[in-house]
Amino acid sequence: MSSLQPAASQPAAPLTDATQMTPEERRSSAALAAIYALRMLGLFLVLPVFALQARHYPGGDDPALVGLAMGVYGLTQAFLQIPMGMASDRLGRKPVILAGLAIFVLGSALAAWAPTLHWLVAGRALQGAGAISAAVTALLADLTRDQVRTKSMALVGISIALMFALSLVLAPVLAARIGLSGLFALTAVLALAGMAVVAWVVPPEPPLPAVAARGGLREVLGHAELLRVNLGVFVLHAVQIAMWMAVPALLVQAGVANADHWQVYLPAVVASLLIMGGVLFRLERMGHFKAVYLGSIALVVLVQIGFLLVQDSASLWPVAVLLCLYFVGFNTQEASQPSLVSRLAAPRQRGAALGVQNTLMSLGIFVGGSVGGLIARQWGSTGIFTASATLMLLWLVLAWPMKAPPAAGSASRH
């Protein structure tokens, strides 16, 4: 991946503060965050309602098949993230991003049409083939300087977290009106909007180098700190998908109708964002990144244990409080991980590191859905929350020796 920025994207006049974004960098960050947001909103909209809505399809009485339909998206993503990232080094970022979004639109349309759960599996697999995350993140790195890249990556992470939060509010309401097929149709429309942003809003990308840079995949795979982060990416998303095969049923058990789940999600999400902005991110700016990072992992461990303890109570308040705490931990990680990878990886390894991170994220989504479905069929919600707590605890133990990441902008961009 090229680390050179064209002269046209340099600021016209020196900045008084090197950590401030230029207008071009602000435009690049906002546009690329919007692409992530539009695509991820479409994906997340089906998450809170998928397990319940899929039961209405022929074949929907098999939890393992439902889990496969939910998680197969991550499997095709995992196979294609690194190849598509490498293709963007050679063919250009924008052409690869546009092609990936077009494939995602086709997969969404197939899923919207699907008459059976097997066709739904095929649509989800085609959605996953539009694996553009590494290419989008690489383009963001191309268009920003070291001094502001962490801020830009954090903006993308926060946009994903916000889309997840918004989807939890909107999904039950929309599913009650347009069903799961309608949600997939809406997903296709959102992806088309993302293509328009790529074509007309994102600034021109830097020219490709004469010889595509090598990403140092072997060095990335042997980097102890990146291995810890990538394990976390995998576990975080596996637990996220598996959890939502059990959480909607807990709310129904507590007396909340499917269409009213947003009344629980919205206060929990808003409270979690207030906690993040008022406490956790402030601590991170004060130099306590490691404590915040490890603390958010530990918080999700405690949440899984809490769900185990309250799953048979049919009481709403414990579930609502646990959801709020989960969102605090999950959103903190979702906002921190892209920035952390960009700070740990050397510039010549950045493309490979982002490809590996997104591959592990996709594998986590696949495992969370497919293995979570098998666990749910065999042991129900008790198995889901036990496995999730165990995975999160393993991650916490392995992440505990982590070193504090280098300061933002400390690495050379060249």
For the record, the structure tokens of 116 come out as: 């059976």
Cβ 70 vs Cβ 60: under 8 Å? no
Q: Is the model's pLDDT at 212 over the cut of 70?
A: no
Structure tokens that stand for 323 in this block: 């959801």
CA 414 to chain centre: 28
Buried b (16+ CB within 10 A) or exposed e, 356-391: bbbbbbbbbbbbbbbbbbebbeeeebebbbbbbbeb
Nearest CA to 124 out of 63, 77, 193 is that of: 77
Tens-digit pLDDT profile for residues 305-330:
999 999 888 789 999 999 999 988 98
pLDDT for the residue 1: 38
Q: Where are the domains of the chain?
A: 24-208+215-399
CA distances to 169, 173, 373 from 261, rounded to whole Å, are 7, 8, 22
pLDDT one-digit tens code per residue, 96-137: 999 999 999 999 999 999 999 999 999 999 999 998 988 898
Q: What average pLDDT does this structure show over 227-244?
A: 91
Per-residue pLDDT at 55: 83
Rounded to 10 deg, the angle between the 224-243 and 289-310 helix axes is 30
Q: Which residue has the tokens 């306590």?
A: 288
Q: Which long-range contacts (CB under 8 A, 24 or more apart) does 310-314 make?
A: 310/250, 311/246, 311/250, 311/381, 311/382, 311/385, 314/253, 314/254, 314/255
For residues 233 and 144, what is the distance between their CA atoms, to the nearest angstrom? 24
> Strand, helix or coil at 2?
coil
- Coil, helix or strand at residue 410: coil
CATH fit for domain 24-208+215-399, picks 3.30.710.10, 3.40.50.1220, 1.20.1250.20, 3.50.40.10? 1.20.1250.20
Whole-angstrom distance, CA of residue 307 vs CA of residue 309? 5
∠ CA 360-361-363, nearest 5°, is 60
Q: pLDDT digits over 248-263, tens only?
A: 889 989 888 877 877 8
* pTM > 0.75: yes or no: no
**Tokens linked to 217:** 């995949």
Q: pLDDT by residue (tens digit) across 171-204? A: 888 988 999 999 999 999 999 999 999 999 999 8
- Alpha helices by DSSP H, 201-315: 217-221, 224-243, 247-253, 262-275, 281-285, 289-310
CB 6 within 8 A of CB 206: yes
pLDDT of residue 390: 96
What are the tokens at 288? Answer: 């306590």
pLDDT at site 17: 57
Minimal CA–CA distance to 264: which of 315, 329, 199, 209?
315
Percent of the chain with pLDDT over 70: 85
As to burial, measured by CB atoms within 10 angstroms (0-12 exposed, 13-18 middle, 19+ buried), residue 25 is buried
Q: In the prediction, which pLDDT does 104 show? A: 95
| Residue 22 to residue 274: CA distance in whole angstroms | 28
- Please work out, in degrees rounded to the nearest 5, the angle formed at the alpha carbon of residue 139 by the alpha carbons of 344 and 229: 25
User: Helix %, strand %, coil % for the chain, to 5?
Assistant: 80, 0, 20
Instruction: Classify residue 85 by burial, with Cβ atoms within 10 Å: 0-12, 13-18, 19+.
Output: buried
What's the mean pLDDT in 149-169? 75
Q: What are the CA-CA distances from residue 221 to residues 76, 226, 343, 383 (Å)?
A: 21, 8, 16, 31
Q: Looking at residue 236, what DSSP letter applies?
A: H
Write the Ramachandran bin of 380: left for phi over 0, alpha for psi from -120 to 50, otherwise beta.
left
Position 394 scores a pLDDT of 95
Compute the distance between CA of residue 157 and CA of residue 2 in angstroms, rounded to an integer: 23
Average pLDDT for the chain:
82
Please give the pLDDT value at position 6: 39
Residue 413 pLDDT greater than 60, yes or no? no
Angle among Cα 252, 303, 356 to the nearest 5 degrees reads 105
Tell me the pLDDT band of 351, cut-offs 50, 70 and 90: low
* Structure-model confidence comparison of residues 302 and 334, the more confident one: 302
